Amino acid sequence: MMLHNLQIVVLLTCLWLMFAQLVVKNKRATHILFAIFCGSVAMSIAKTLSGSTIGPYQYLIGMGACITCNGYWLLSRSLFRKSGAIGLPHLVFAGAIAVLIMLNQGMLFASNSGVIAFNEQSVMGHVLREFTVLLSSSILVLSFWEGVRGFKQANHTEKAQRILFLATFGGAVAFSKVLQGALADTPVAKDLAIACITLIVVTSTQVQILWHDKTRKHANKTLPSSVPSVASTAHSVATASQTNGAVDESLLANQIDALLIDDALYLQSNLRLVDVAQKLGVPEYRVSNALRYNLRARNFNQYVNALRIQHAQTLLADEDKQKWTVLVVGLESGFASVGPFTRAFKATTGLTPNQYRQQLHQMKTA
């Protein structure tokens, strides 16, 4: 009874954390991947809870639990890599593991439903299972490596974040492997321990994501030393207005440029005019006027998208990033999804991102 209740707690926690990512204001790849991971873990728990009542249909639920260790690897990359976190090779590798898991669960469903004859102990079943275990084990090592990689170069806060990740994730993997052997003869105790470890991992990961978001937000608020503080800027603008009898928007325009360009705030997805106004401590209409009359922009979105497109053009022209998908380039350039990125890119350049990349390649090889 205790095991059943704990598994329900883990299931509800995973579902709650999955839906919690939907309300995140400025979603990044990290939030999306964590939502997918939590959903996959929830499907795994649901399969265990419903196995005795729905028979072979439990394996259909098990097919949804195909993005656990592979999803966590992608998540760890998005946490600790500042650029190039997820490209096509990473998606293919993670997808291959997902396909193997779904294939195994699908064959078990067909076998238990009497559609086909499939024996897990057969050569085919053994090869499929062992190959899946091999790839899954490899990706667990790669996940751990993401926390170790670049540790010496990280600052104090980043080192603390990596230590928390390594302690939680590494400890969870180590304990689960040890317990699977030590508690092999007591399956209830083993399942109870695994449920506890799973609960610790998902809650700890949510804490780590919140910590990373807070660190990122703090970094965005920190202006370069050459840029006056928000308070001094507001004071200077107010003084100029009182002295001259007119609003001097040129100073504010410089501050907007410094905030968006020098501090790379334009790479923050879902950035709004009100966010910039709040950071600078001025009304929204002041920012709009500075953009329109001093920076010659039609509106805020047009100005920010122009900066993002310039950044995307740089990424598309980079030889080291030719394997990056359009989705990755868009995310790295501050767009929330591939659709708005493609439309904005074509509206600015007259070409889609793929066409732009192909044109650059043809010019280089001509």
3-class DSSP state of 72 = helix
Provide the terminal-to-terminal Cα distance of the chain, rounded to the nearest Å.
71
User: If the chain, 366 residues long, is cut into consecutive pieces of 10 residues, what is the mean pLDDT of each piece?
Assistant: 88 95 84 94 92 85 91 92 78 91 86 68 70 86 90 82 92 85 80 91 94 74 42 44 48 85 84 88 88 86 91 89 89 90 90 90 79
Tell me the CA distances in angstroms from 231 to 203, 218, 228, 235, 247, one per residue in order. 38, 16, 8, 6, 17
Task: Determine contact, residues 202/21, Cβ cutoff 8 Å.
Answer: no
CA-CA-CA-CA torsion sign (53, 55, 58, 60): negative
Instruction: Taking each helix axis as running N to C, give the angle between helix 273-280 and helix 230-244, from 0 to 180 degrees, rounded to the nearest 10.
Output: 80
Q: What is the pLDDT of residue 263?
A: 78
pLDDT at res. 202: 93
pLDDT of 177 reads: 82
Kindly report, as residue ranges, where domains of CATH 1.10.10.60 are found in the chain.
308-366
pLDDT of residue 123: 64
How much is the pLDDT for 125? 65
φ/ψ bin of 27: left (φ > 0), alpha (ψ from -120 to 50), beta (otherwise): beta
- What is the value of pTM for the model shown? 0.60
Give the separation between CA 243 and CA 205, rounded to whole angstroms.
53
Start and end residues for every CATH 1.20.1070 domain found in the chain:
2-219
105: exposed, middle or buried (Cβ count in 10 Å: 0-12, 13-18, 19+):
buried
Other CB atoms within 10 A of residue 9 CB: 14
Query: Among 1.10.357, 1.10.760, 1.20.1070, 1.10.10, what is the CATH number of 2-219?
Result: 1.20.1070
Instruction: Report the C-alpha dihedral over residues 76, 170, 96, 333, rounded to 10 degrees.
Output: 0
308-366 belongs to which homologous superfamily?
A: Homeodomain-like (1.10.10.60)
- Burial class of residue 57 in the structure, from the number of CB atoms within 10 Å of its CB (0-12 exposed, 13-18 middle, 19+ buried): middle
